Structures are given as structure tokens and as C-alpha cells.
Amino acid sequence: MKLPCHASTTRRAALALGACACLFLTPQRAAAESPALELRSPDGRIAVTVNTDGRLAYHVSVAGTPILNNSQLGLRLKGQGYLGADVSLVSSARAEVDSTWVNPLGKHHDVRDLHRELRVSVRERGQGGPAFDVIFRAYNDGVAFRYALPGKGDFTVEEELTEFAFTADNHCFGADHTTAPNSAYDVRGGFAGPQEWEFKPMRLTDLSDETVTGLPLLVHAPGYWVAVTEAELVDWSGMWLVRAPQAGGTTAVTLRASLAPKLDGDGLVRATLPHASPWRVLIIGETAGKLVESDLVLNLSSPCAIADPSWVKPGMMAWDTWWPGVSKMSTAALEGFIQFAADMGWPYELIDEGWYAGKVSKDGDILTVSQAVDMPELLRFASERHVRLWVWAHWTDVDRNDAYKKAFALYEKWGLAGVKIDFMDRDDQDMVNWYEKIVREAAAHHLLVDFHGAFKPTGMIRTWPNQITREGVLGNEYNKWSSRVTPEHRVTLPFTRFLAGPADFTPGGFLNRTASGFRTHVSPTQVMSTRAGQLALFVAYDSPVMCFCDQPEDVRGQPGEDFLKIVPTVWNDTRVLSGSVGNYLVMARRSGADWYLGTMTNSYERDCTVKLSFLGPGNWSMRWWHDARDSGENAEHLEVTEQTVTAADSIDARMSGGGGSVARFVRIP
């Protein structure tokens, strides 16, 4: 069946104070305001109303349409009881910000931060304790809020009371925690695991009321799309969601925040005052594609903490013998991948598991090279070819006896580019803090970091740009042992997981197979995708360091190799031209003066008419890699078309099931 495209001071103190560059700041006394305070987005469409008399709560509407009903706010602190159960307003202050910052590693180079802010200070009645604040921000593309606790001393959070009370049993795309056959991990809906899951279409009532659901959660509310996630996760536990029991006779569904517990069982968060929670984020748009274009998570994150981050360089990366599984690690094999990176013009090559001495996660020694690898020879070989090396490590080997401190200094001396650290599989407060400790030390030694076995991103890449990508995604590696990386999954990810930030999906498998011809547990590894469908991932997915999965012999001389030599990994502009979650995506992106187009579809053939109005004036040379007529039977086949086009033209993108296309547009002088 063929479908058309229209078918379906210190950093911590700054956090606590909610520091920002404000155009105006207006404090107001409680007596001058109603207990219900409203905050509107700069364009006036999104409204947040905060109840500050009695139960602390908020609700959200867009263009007059309710998105969230009255939703509880608050915290339960050890020894202090509930904050937010019965409050009175102490004061409030409003601010507006309109600034622009440069993001050299994202989907837009120049990022506008335009928002209005409302800071409410409330006090729990009858307790006589200090006031606490809730800070709300309204953007044209969403809403965010956080708790700010003043004072001195220590505190322990035993429960976060935040709710998201949706007005109806909306359709959504939620993280599916169930263990599928051949899954590499058993997460069973709990807090542990690498956050590698499908985002399945369901209703809010299908979400569990017994176990947690991970973020982001994408919800199709009346007339709008809403994604729930978090930003600026610093010295706090990761937020998950649990569905609250429904009241009788109502279709409304309330989701409650649930924080990852500390391993010692003593609370969820233990920290020192003053302190602020992460931002609780609602990305909002009329279409799901508008959410893809949003930089809201980054706008809510702290600016760069590295004085001079000019050494942080994006680019493509070759990956060693782990993916194909056809040869053992050796110096000669690794030199083959380094040469491949050099031939492709890529700056990086990754040396995965097996390069260091000892037994991984037991007594692995990340300071000592195994006998299988001649590291000085590899460093020499790579340097002569202008390729820089990354190395993999298990997080316990990195952490043991603070090995990372000596190791990072050694890696800097070797001239390594970065480290890929794996298998953390948690987002409790201690692990969240461990991430920051590692990236801070890595930055001191000019090392990039790629966290695998990781929780979702929350904007760390803005604060610590050397944390240049992370996993937290069910990526191409699953093709080795499962059939879960389906076309539907791949075309759902831009609208779900990638809303939180970059993901190391490792695209680029060139052993392309149809669904009926796909096999697992074979070497080299196959992918359930057409060749053009895999190329489309390099345009559709965000990862400033893009790790290419396949081996040199499957790529050299093959159709599509030339595209991999030119495709960027960061962008000046990103536009979703059309799309439907789980069905198809058409995206245009600009790098410098050149434009790139990516289209992808699910398991169904699809015809898309793509208007080229995103191009500027004049004539453009288009080179277009797209599914061949027989790609539905031979998935490795693709065709390349070259022609001159203008912004007034359209192209007909015909995609086979699991397929897609990519194009590059260069202005003709």
C-alpha cells in the first residue's frame, strides 16, 4: 500500500536564585494581586494561571483551549512536611527576556531566548517556616517551572508533588518499558536501565499507575501537541511519571512526578540550601513538527561553563570492530578503521571495548593498554592521517579509585579526542552528579564525552559542550540481536526522544534489508531499512558527533558513500516541512549557505510532494539520493538525481517502505 504524505554566583546559587538577564523586573506585594496569577507567553497564546491561596497549583491553556486542568505543585521534605499543601502568597515578581545566544552544536546556530517570567514566593500556613519560590516561564513554544528553596543548611526531598492534569484521555506516545524478546536489557518499567525503549502510540490511560514512565512523553492534546520533559537536571534526581487513579465519571487523566530514588534508600534528593529543582517542561506546538524545531530545553539550561570551548569540535566518527563483529580487536584492524575515517574526511575514530587491560567492570584498568593494541602505533598512524581517537570505558572502571583523574590527564597527553563511557543505567541524584563531575574533569583535559547506557539529555550540552552527545536511545545497535529498530520506531524518534536533545543512534548501516529479508544475530550486522532510509537519519537526527556504524568494506564504492563525505553534523537552521509521528518526516536543514533535505517513512510506501520554498532566490544545484524503483525488493538500491531547481519548484519524493531520501542544494553563482 502506498500512502500520501498528509496521511497520518556558584552555579548552584545561581540556580536557586533563578538568575537571568532581564529587560525588566517588577516586584509586587501580595496585597496588590489576586491569589490567582496569570503569566502569558510573549505572543499571548499560552497562558499559565497559578493559584497561590490554599493548595499551590497551576493550569495551562493555549489560545483559550485548556491543555492542563488545575495541577498540584509542591514538595515533601524530611522533617518539614509538605510545601504547597496550604499556602499564602508572600510576593511575586515579573520579568521579560529577549536575548540571542550562539549554539555551534545544535539545530539552530542563533538561538533566540524570548520569554516572560513569574516568580511567586509563598509560605505554608501555620508552619512559620521560610517562604519558598516557584518560578514560571512562558515561551511562545512552551511553559516551564521550577522550585527554588532559599535559606541555609541541608534538606531531603521525600516526594515531589508535581502534577500534569491533562483535560482528557489524550492520544500519546509513551516510553514502552516492557521487555521484548531478544532485548539486551530488562528494565521492567522501573527506574533502572539505559532508557532504550520504543515510544508506542497509546492513550494516557494506557500509562501505568503502578510503575513509572520515562521522558519525554508526547501528548496530542486538543488542537496542540505537548511534550513533557525536564531541563537543567543538576544535583537532583531524574523525573519520571506515574498515572494517578482516575476519578469516577471523568475522562481527565493526571500524571504525577516520580523521582528516581537514591540507592541508599534515604530520600530522593539530599542537598544544601539555597537550591533549585530542574525545570519541569511542556514543549507546545500546533504540530508535532514545531516541537522538533524547538530549543526550549537548551534555553532553560545554564550558559557554557567552559571559558574557551573552541576546542570542542563536531564531526563524523568511524566505529571499530564492535558493530560488524567480523574480526577481533587488533592494531591492524583498528588502523583499517582509522584509514577509513581519513578517506572519508572524518575527524574521529572510536576504539570500543577491549582496548584496556583487565576484566571490564571487575578490575578493568583504563590506564593500561591491553596486549591486543599498540597504542603508540595507533596514535602515530591516526595523527599522520589527521584523525583523532576516542576510547570506550565502562563507568565502574572509570570511577574505581577515581581512576578518571589520572586517566583523563593521560588521554590528553596521548592526544585523544574523547571518551565514550557506558552502562551507568541510572538517573538518581548520585548518578546525575557523577555525570557533571566527569564532564567537568574531562573539560579540564580538553576531552569530549559521549555517555552510553545513559539517561535522557536535559540541556547539559549547553553548559558543558564537551558532553557532545549521549545515547539514551534504542539505536541501530539493537539490529544485532532484535527486530525492534523498525521503520516506525525510527520515524517516531525525532518527535519523542530527540526533543530532549542529541542522541548517539549510530546510523548508517549499509547491509540494508526489507522487513521480510532482515535477520538478527548475523555478522556483519544488517539493518531493516533501505540505503536511502539510512542516509536520511544523518539529516533527521541530532548528534554533533555522529558515529557511523558500518565497516569500511561495506561502504567503499557503494551508492551513498559520497553523501557521507559531505553531510554536516550541526546546523544553522532546521525546519520541519511536514510530518506525522510514526508515519513520515520531511525536514530541511541549512549548513552555512547550503541546504539539505531529509525524508523518511515508516513501513509503507509513500509519495511526498516537497516544496522547495525554503531555498533562497536564484538557481540551485540539487543532488538527490533517493529510493530506487526496486528498493522495496532490494533495499540496498538507490538512485542519484542531479538537476537545477529554484524556490518555486517542487520535487516528488517517492519512498519505499522503510525508505527515504536526502538532497543537497548548493546555490549556483
Query: What proportions of the chain, in percent to the nearest 5, are helix, strand and coil?
Result: 20, 40, 45
Structure confidence at residue 210 (pLDDT): 86
pLDDT more than 70, % of the chain: 92
Predicted pLDDT at 26: 45
Give me the pLDDT at residue 246, please.
Answer: 82
Mean pLDDT, residues 371-378 taken together: 97
**CATH number given to 302-472:** 3.20.20.70
Q: What pLDDT score does 186 carry?
A: 39
What's the mean per-residue pLDDT of the chain?
A: 93
* Arithmetic mean of pLDDT, 262-278: 95
> Residue 179 — very low, low, confident or very high, per pLDDT cuts 50/70/90?
very low
- Confidence at 190, pLDDT banded by 50, 70, 90: confident
Grid coordinates 557506558 are at which residue? 422
Compute CA distances 440 → 235, 305, 444, 608, whole Å. Answer: 14, 9, 6, 46
State pLDDT tens for residues 616-626.
Answer: 999 999 999 99
* 411 close to 420: Cβ distance less than 8 angstroms: no
pLDDT band at residue 25, thresholds of 50, 70 and 90? very low
Shortest CA distance to 155 belongs to which of 266, 17, 304?
266
Tell me: pLDDT of 370 over 80.
Answer: yes
Residues of the chain with CATH 2.60.40.1180: 590-667
Backbone angles phi, psi at 554, to 5 degrees: -85, -5
- Residue 180: pLDDT above 60? no
Confidence of residue 321 (pLDDT cuts 50, 70, 90): confident
Q: Which one-letter DSSP state was computed for residue 278?
A: P
Pinpoint the residues of the chain covered by CATH 3.20.20.70: 302-472
With bands split at pLDDT 50, 70 and 90, how would you rate the model's confidence at 101?
Answer: very high
**Predicted local distance difference test score (pLDDT) of residue 184:** 38
Q: What is the pLDDT of residue 34?
A: 62
Spatial contact of 612 and 653, defined as CB atoms under 8 Å apart: no
pLDDT of residue 6: 56
Band of residue 1 on the pLDDT scale cut at 50, 70, 90: low
SS3 per-residue string spanning 578-623:
EEECCCEEEEEEEECCEEEEEEEECCCEEEEEEECCCCCCCCEEEE
Q: What type of residue sits at position 251?
A: T
Q: How confident is the model at residue 315 (pLDDT cuts 50, 70, 90)?
A: very high
pLDDT given at position 35: 74
Q: How confident is the model at residue 29 (pLDDT cuts 50, 70, 90)?
A: very low
- What mean pLDDT is predicted for residues 457-481? 98
pLDDT > 50? residue 541: yes
When pLDDT is cut at 50, 70 and 90, the band that residue 33 belongs to is low
Which residues neighbour 250 within 8 Å (Cβ) at sequence distance 6 or greater?
none
* Beta bridge partners of residue 512, listed in sequence order: 527
Residue 251's pLDDT band (cuts 50, 70, 90): confident
Res 11: pLDDT: 38
pLDDT tens column, 218-247: 999 989 999 999 999 999 999 999 999 887
pLDDT of residue 178: 59
pLDDT band at 323 (very low <50, low <70, confident <90, very high): confident
For the chain, where do the domains classified as CATH 2.70.98.10 start and end? 2-299
pLDDT tens, position by position, 451-467: 999 999 999 999 999 99
Four-way CATH pick for 590-667: 2.60.40.1180, 1.10.3080.10, 3.30.465.10, 2.60.40.790: 2.60.40.1180
Report pLDDT for 589. 98
Give the residue-averaged pLDDT of 429-439.
98
Architecture of domain 2-299: Distorted Sandwich (2.70)
The mean per-residue pLDDT over the stretch 47-60 comes to: 97
